[in-house]
Amino acid sequence: MKKLPLIIFGLLVLSIYANAQNLEKQAPEGFDVKKPGIQRGTVDTVTYASETVGTERAATIYTPPGYSENNTYPVLYLLHGIGGDEYAWLKNGRANVVLNNLYARDKIEPMIVVMPNGRAMKDDRAVGNVFADDKIEAFATFEQDLLNDLIPFIERNYPAIEDREHRALAGLSMGGGQSLNFGLANLDAFAWVGGFSSAPNTKEPQQLLPDPQQAKDQLKLLWISCGDEDDLMRISKRTHEYLEQHSVPHIFHTEPGGHDFEVWKNDLYIFSQLLFKPAKKRGNYD
């Protein structure tokens, strides 16, 4: 009889090894194509009162297949780029389709995905010159909107788990810069941070992470990715090099492609599979 605990322990260890497969670096064909006969998550548009901006602001929300208000969920805040808005990840990134397909294959943890408008200003439409100074500044202002207005709204209205280990922040380009800037400056709020093809709004490494030890101690995942033909590679590269110099664990994922949604869909595909899982269960990146 005394052998039983040992056998159970052995089986547990084996199952952990069996689960720790290598992660795919390139999503398989059809990963972003709607599949018939699978369970789907739900997409809603919500509005929240923003004290930061002084308006009602919109965000889209994806709740996973089988979602129930009787359960609790971690939350990924997923940010768009300079020409985008709260619909960009759905329209151009097919985020709901990518996630539905991952759930159908049991590849990701149930999570709520919040896709806000990261241009925190009264007229937050992506119209006119999207590079105008006031619009760029609004991407920085979004830090206050996110922390003081949006997250409290989500946590009042959804069954979100309200701690740093159950909040992730990621985005593409301007949204990648925002995620790195805000995530690393607010480690009390986020334990999972990802920058996809991060734009020049990304702070210089020394400013971005003056205290590498704090990140080392607190982050569950730090993800930096970029397409190998993207002119903005230098931003991801300098961030990666600084992290490496300071021995801050992170994933630096470079992939074929430029500055576009083909790359970002692939990033969402890989990154979302890593989220909210203990390192042992996550599978090997290399």
Binding-site ranges for ligand FER (CB under 6 A) = 81-82, 136, 173-174, 199-201
d(CA 27, CA 102): 10
Among candidate residues 96, 106, 115, the one with its CA nearest the CA of residue 34: 96
Rounded least distance, CB 140 to ligand FER, Å: 10
Instruction: Name the residue nearer to ligand FER (CB basis): 22 or 131.
Output: 131
**What's the min distance (Å) between Cβ of 77 and ligand FER?**
16
- Residue 277 belongs to what H/E stretch? none
Q: Indicate the residue among 82 and 215 with the shorter CB distance to ligand FER.
A: 82
List the one residue out of 10, 13, 19, 24 whose CA is nearest residue 269: 24
Contact indicator for 79, 60 with CB cutoff of 8 Å: no
- DSSP, collapsed to helix, strand or coil, labels residue 87 as coil
Q: Please state the length of the chain.
A: 286
Write down the least CB distance from residue 200 to ligand FER, Å. 4
Cβ of residue 136: shortest distance to ligand FER, in angstroms? 5
Exposure of 222 by Cβ count < 10 A (0-12 exposed, 13-18 middle, 19+ buried)?
Answer: buried
- Listed residue (226, 260, 53, 259) closest to 140, CA to CA: 53
Name which of 100 and 225 has its Cβ closer to ligand FER: 225
Half-sphere exposure of 149 (CA within 13 A, CB side): 23
Bin 283: left if φ > 0, else alpha if -120 < ψ < 50, else beta.
Answer: left
- Nearest-approach distance from CB 265 to ligand FER, in angstroms: 14
Closest to ligand FER by CB, 41 or 205:
205
> Three-state secondary structure along 5-68?
HHHHHHHHHHHHHHHCCECCCCCCCCCCCCCCCCCCCEEEEEEEEECCCCEEEEEEEEECCCCC
Q: Shortest gap between Cβ of 81 and ligand FER (angstroms)?
A: 3
Q: Which is nearer to ligand FER, 74 or 81 (CB)?
A: 81
Interhelix angle 261-274/95-104, rounded to 10 degrees, is 40
Strands 167-172 vs 112-116: parallel, antiparallel or unpaired: unpaired
Least Cβ distance, residue 201 to ligand FER (angstroms): 5
- Find all residues with CB under 8 Å of 161, minimum gap 6, and list them: 72, 73, 74, 75
Closest CB to ligand FER among residues 48, 196: 196
Q: Least CB distance from residue 231 to ligand FER, whole Å?
A: 8
Output 20 or 136, the one with its CB closest to ligand FER: 136
Residue closer to ligand FER (CB basis): 201 or 225 = 201
